[in-house]
Every structure is written in C-alpha cells, then in structure tokens.
Amino acid sequence: MNILDHISLGVPGIAEARRFYDAALAPLGIACLAANDAFAAYGADAVQFLLMVPADGAAFSRGNGTHIAFRADASAAVDSFHAAALQQGATCAGEPGPRPDYPASNVYAGFVFDPFGHKLEAIHNGFAN
C-alpha cells in the first residue's frame, strides 16, 4: 500500500519545468499525464508527482534537506535519468553508482539538482522494491 497520495514541488513556471521533467523522467517510465498553466501531473499508471506554481502568488522556494526519490527498474535507468537530467540543465549531486551505506541491499542511485534547485534521486533496489 502506498502511504502517500502524491508529492508536489513548486516551480516558477509549468512550461519551463516540463521541458526539464518530461525529458528527465522519461527513462524511468514516468510521463506527464495532465497539465495546465498551474500544474503538471506525472506518473506511470496514476498521478503521484506534481509540479505546481504556488497558489498564493508568491515565488516558489525549494526545501533545504528534502529530496524526491524516483523508483528505477534497473541501474541502467538510473544512469539514463542522470544523463538526461544533466542534458536538460541539472547539476550533479551524486554520480550514479552503488550505495552500500543505504539500509537496503544492492542499492544503485544517482542524484541531481534540477534547474530550480530541487534535489532529485533515481534509485534502483530502494525501499519501494
């Protein structure tokens, strides 16, 4: 059972955010399932991740110490996510590779900061497996 309905991140604009996220999430089998000027909703079979322009009209901000981890079916998908994200303007926050210090075994993960400063992870054999 999933304990979360969805997670959302604030962005300055949906079109700009979609250029990054559409390309970066494609290697993980995640696509934009619905969008308008206020949000973009992503998932595989159902919406679980949203990008949103802040409803209060204030500027978006990123969370210091937070990150979003996307499940990858294989280590090659982690590598592809990382490469696609970097090509779309992300900065590396941790090269793809084994993470022996994680509590789960055989974990393979890679990290980036998206163009808006949000920390993202693609992970194979993480907690969701």
From first to last of the 129 residues of the chain, give the pLDDT tens digit.
Answer: 567 889 999 999 999 999 999 999 999 999 999 999 999 999 999 999 999 999 888 888 888 889 999 999 999 999 999 999 999 999 999 999 999 998 888 999 999 999 999 999 999 999 887
Burial class (CB in 10 A: 0-12, 13-18, 19+), 78: buried
Tokens read off for 117: 């400063």
CATH of domain 7-53+66-124: 3.10.180.10
Cβ-proximal residues to 114 (8 Å cutoff; 6+ apart), any chain = 20, 21, 24, 85, 89, 90, 120
Mean pLDDT of all residues in the chain?
A: 94
Other CB atoms within a 10 A radius of the CB of residue 103 amount to: 8
Cβ-proximal residues to 90 (8 Å cutoff; 6+ apart), any chain = 20, 24, 112, 113, 114, 115, 120
Q: Are 33 and 42 in contact (CB under 8 A)?
A: yes
- The number of residues making up the chain comes to 129
